[in-house]
Amino acid sequence: MATLSNHCSGLAKQFILMFLGAVFVLNHVRAADPDPLQDFCIADINASNSIPTNGYLCKARSLVTADDFTFTGLREKGDTVVTGTNATITYALVQQYPGVNTQGISHVRLDFEPGGVIPPHTHPLASETIFVVEGSVFTGFVSHDNKLFTKTLHKGDVFLFPRATLHFQLCVGNVSAITFNSFNAQFPGLLMAANQLFVTNMNHDVLAKSFGSNEAVMNAVNASIPRFWG
């Protein structure tokens, strides 16, 4: 009888562990951005208690018009210049395009002078596609296992940057280039690699040892890298 009781107890423990494991897996599978609970939610960017986490508060539906779903800011090159890179970014993220709030999508337009570059950076919250409208662009990304994938794109070509991978864009050839980039997030986030290391005032001794260099070289690099903002 004791043997049977122990056997049943063992089966019960196994069942409980299997049940808990199933719950963990299901919760893990569901750990993604939820679908919106409404067809649209035009962001009320100027609301006093509006916050970007998980979307902005919704503008009253009675005040919504077709203009809220329209964005004309990508018609022309914007004025956000990436200092020292000969490249300009025009944003159509939720802050500029409130209609994309909760929709999981946003865009940017990139304008490059010949030789212009968007330095290595990541978008921690989104995957990205790049569509070449004019010119030619050399681009690529580094995978999680440190493999570099590169391609020279021409007018009409599309390339994918997987989510959170380090990537870059460089205008090649003798003419300017324009690209239209899309994200699967209303605000993809932006981390410029060089700026993260140097503009944040990270200890230069840490940087010198990380790069196998010395503090004087790190100071020189810090003084010369493009400042993304300003």
CB 133 within 8 A of CB 180: yes
Is 121 annotated to bind ligand? yes
d(CA 221, CA 193): 13
Is 76 annotated to bind ligand? no
Tokens of 88: 């300009």
d(CA 228, CA 230): 6
Classified as helix, coil or strand, 22 is helix
Q: Which residues pair with 82 in a beta bridge?
A: 87
Tell me how crowded residue 191 is: count the other CB atoms within 10 A of its CB. Answer: 14
* DSSP 3-state percent helix, strand, coil across the chain (nearest 5): 25, 30, 45
Q: Mutual orientation of helices 215-224 and 204-211 as an angle, nearest 10°? A: 100
Classified as helix, coil or strand, 182 is strand
Distances (CA, A) of 16 to 12, 22, 24, 79, 184: 6, 10, 12, 60, 38
Binding site, annotated residues for oxalate: 123, 128
Binding site, annotated residues for Mn(2+): 121, 123, 128, 167
Binding site, annotated residues: 121, 123, 128, 167
